[in-house]
Amino acid sequence: MAKKLIGKVAVVTASTDGIGYAIAEKLAQEGAKVVVSSRKQKNVDAAVEKLKSQNLDIVGVVCHVGKPEDRDRLVTTAVERYGGIDIFVSNAAVNPHFGPLLDCPESAWDKIFDINVKTTFLLCKAIVPHMQKRGGGSIILVSSTGGYEPSAVLGPYSVSKTAVLGLKKALANQLSSMNIRVNCLAPGLIKTRFSEAIWQDPNTLKSVTQNIKLGRIGEPRECGGIVAFLASDEASFITDETIVVSGGSYSRL
């Protein structure tokens, strides 16, 4: 089958592990040149080595999305190494607060909204001019099914993911005239370090999977192909859309 993303350059945040890594791997397998990134040099090095061992065209850079100098380096690396940016996947997110919503300290609320929402906006602001130079592009923001149904225990995090859905809509409205499409991926429960508190405890896992039609949690690789599709010309008439990858757990009608 022909590769979907030959000639494209992709930047993926938080892509040395979990869903971000699976997305970076799939984009590169589809022919894109991919900039992988995360906070720790050793994680970047390990991810680059693993991906390069598959003969994929990859460059790695340290980028804590909350640090302005790191965001600059991420964008500059893509432009200097690969000549521009066509695809941006905003995947980084944090959740420093589990528990009742109103128990969330202000500092945790600020961190959640800074990393999950504000840095997504700031990176889009920095990357869009480069997409304009290429005549268009595709932005994919990683939200969550929690964004559709904010919960008491994951309150601030899930509200931040609702905000990401709103950001997607506002960006899609502004960027359509520039031939830049903006879509969201909304994963349900996916087996990563981020969610290990849920899947490592057999009782919690059992109760959670009861609400998943496919009867199991997802794997990171089950997110990669959807993002590659949204980034590709196969999705050329899709913007301001969200694709839910949740095994049929509750999201929306």
In the complex with ligand NAP, which residue's Cβ is closer, 20 or 247? 20
Output the residue with the shortest Cβ distance to ligand NAP. Answer: 18
Considering only residues 30-49, where is the footprint of ligand NAP by CB under 6 A?
A: 38-40, 43
Q: Of 2-10, 14-22, 99-107, 127-135, which segment contacts ligand NAP by CB under 6 A?
A: 14-22
Active-site residue, 157 included:
yes
Output Rg (C-alpha) for the chain, integer angstroms: 17
Considering only residues 66-105, where is the footprint of ligand NAP by CB under 6 A?
A: 66, 91-94
In the complex with ligand NAP, which residue's Cβ is closer, 43 or 77? 43
How many residues sit close enough to ligand NAP to count as binding (CB under 6 A)? Answer: 29
23 contacts: CB under 8 Å, gap ≥ 6: 12, 15, 89, 91, 223, 224, 227, 228
Residue 186 is encoded by which pair of tokens? 């909304």
- Cβ 115 to ligand NAP, closest distance in Å? 5
Give the Cα-Cα-Cα angle 65, 15, 86 (nearest 5 degrees): 80
In the complex with ligand NAP, which residue's Cβ is closer, 133 or 213? 213
Going by C-alpha positions, the residue among 173, 114, 98, 171 that lies closest to residue 141 is 171
Write out the H or E segment, with its range, that includes residue 120.
helix 119-133
Considering only residues 183-222, where is the footprint of ligand NAP by CB under 6 A?
A: 187, 189-190, 192-195
Site string for ligand NAP, 114-153 (x = CB under 6 A): -x--------------------------x-x---------
Going by C-alpha positions, the residue among 195, 252, 249 that lies closest to residue 241 is 252
Helix (H, G, I), strand (E, B) or coil at 204: helix
Pairwise CA distance, residues 123 & 117, whole Å? 10
- Could you list the active site residues? 157
Residues near ligand NAP (CB under 6 A): 13-14, 16-20, 38-40, 43, 63-66, 91-94, 115, 142, 144, 187, 189-190, 192-195
